[in-house]
Amino acid sequence: MKLRSRRMILFSVLPLHALDDNVPTDDMNHSMVKLCSPCEKIKDKVFTLVGTFNGIVLMVMVVKDKRLMKGVYDTRMILYNPFTSESKIVRDPYSPCLKPNHTYGFGYGVTLDDLKIVRFRDHDLDVFSLKTNSWSTSKNFIPNANFMNEVGTFLNGFLYWIDYSSDMTILALDVNKMAIWRAPLPPYQGSDSTYTLPRLGTLRGCLCTIKERDNNVFDVWVLEKQGVKKLWSNICSFSIGLEGNYVNKYHPINILDDGRILMVNDSSGQLIIYDTSKHSYKMLNSSRTFQSLRTLRGIEYVESLVSPSDLCCV
């Protein structure tokens, strides 16, 4: 199955779409795949792709249920296999809720079977352990932070978010110990007037970030270990030299671990992939455009036959 499975990039749009990474990117009409979704039949909803593990995707859906009081929302966490269309809803004792815009993460601790769903709910930290099928909550876990509802980037037992408060730092959570610490972002160059905010990802097994400097010039930084310290290194800077309406309208969707960066034009919905190893980019021709979606997200996904029930007894 691993030899035959496709590597894809899932997009946080409905209907659910994926970019098949095995099809040449210049043949986008065949590489863009429409997938079934476990939430297509539910109206008045928004959803977020949180992360993936062994072919299972964690989706969080917020539903405006008419049976609930006005201003109250039903949040549903769904473990979903896009390849088999099998899904399971994770029970949530904190739903319905008044504030649905929480911040999520999906990762594991020391061992692969220690899989956890993490959620920042105001100042509290909620953790669902798929191993024990149980919730735990730590009150007043973190002081004021502005995550802008982003999902955590998982790497080597840690989940990372950017706190977009005035000092703008990285917040890291040890998934095993449930301990938290902060780290500085790289010393970004250029003015602070650019409208794109920094984005986290992984690149060749290291935490990385990308930030627009000025007028569609982007800097890519990698957090590398040098001795006992971890230091940011600027591995490349690139610009998208397109004229007319394309200037200063691109923003990153997804940083792929192999060094490619998927970006979208906020005006036209045009997708491109920039290759940091070859210092070149390719326009992706597709009949499916993503119009005015500055909040568009993407996650890497590899097909599998794993059932959501194999991860936990939800």
Q: What is the DSSP string of 43-99?
A: -SEEEEEEEEETTEEEEEEEE--TTSPTT-BEEEEEEEETTTTEEEEEP-TT-SBS-
**Does the pLDDT at position 115 exceed 90?**
yes
Q: Which of 127, 239, 246, 131 is nearest to 175 (CA)?
A: 127
Three-state secondary-structure class, residue 12: coil
Task: Provide mean pLDDT across the span 279-306.
Answer: 73
Please report which helix (H) or strand (E) contains residue 213, including its range.
Answer: strand 206-214
Q: How many CB atoms lie within 10 A of CB 150?
A: 20
Percentage of residues in the chain with pLDDT exceeding 90?
A: 30
198: preceding bond cis by omega (within 30 degrees): no
Instruction: Quote the CA–CA distance of 117 and 129 in Å, as a whole number.
Output: 7
Q: What is the pLDDT of residue 314?
A: 44
> What is the total residue count of the chain?
314
**Can you read off the two tokens belonging to residue 267?**
């005006």
The string over 165-193, giving b where at least 16 C-beta atoms fall within 10 Å of a residue's C-beta and e elsewhere, is: eeeebbbbbebeeeeeeeeebbebeeeee
pLDDT at residue 168 tops 90:
no
CA–CA dist 106, 119 (Å, integer): 9
Q: Cα separation of 170 and 162, whole Å?
A: 5
Averaged pLDDT, 81-99: 88
Higher per-residue pLDDT: 55 or 189: 55
Over residues 197-251, the pLDDT tens digits come to 888 999 999 999 998 887 778 999 999 876 667 789 999 998 876 544 444 577 8
Does residue 313 surpass a pLDDT of 80?
Answer: no
Question: Exposed e or buried b for every residue in 112-126, given b needs 16+ CB within 10 A?
Answer: eebbbbbbbbeeebb
Q: Which pLDDT belongs to residue 11?
A: 85
Q: 136 is written with which tokens?
A: 């735990």
Q: Who's near 143: CB < 8 A, 6+ residues apart?
A: 123
Q: Which tokens go with 109?
A: 């601790």
- Please report, in angstroms and rounded to a whole number, the separation of the first and last CA atoms in the chain: 25
Yes or no: say if 36 and 85 are a contact pair by the CB < 8 Å rule: yes
Q: Which two tokens stand for residue 269?
A: 């919905």
Residues in contact with 273: Cβ distance below 8 Å, sequence separation at least 6, in sequence order: 25, 260, 261, 262, 263, 281, 282, 284
Domain-wise residue ranges, the chain: 185-287
Q: Report the distance separating Cα 141 and Cα 6, nearest Å.
A: 39
Cα 308 to chain centroid distance, Å, stands at: 20
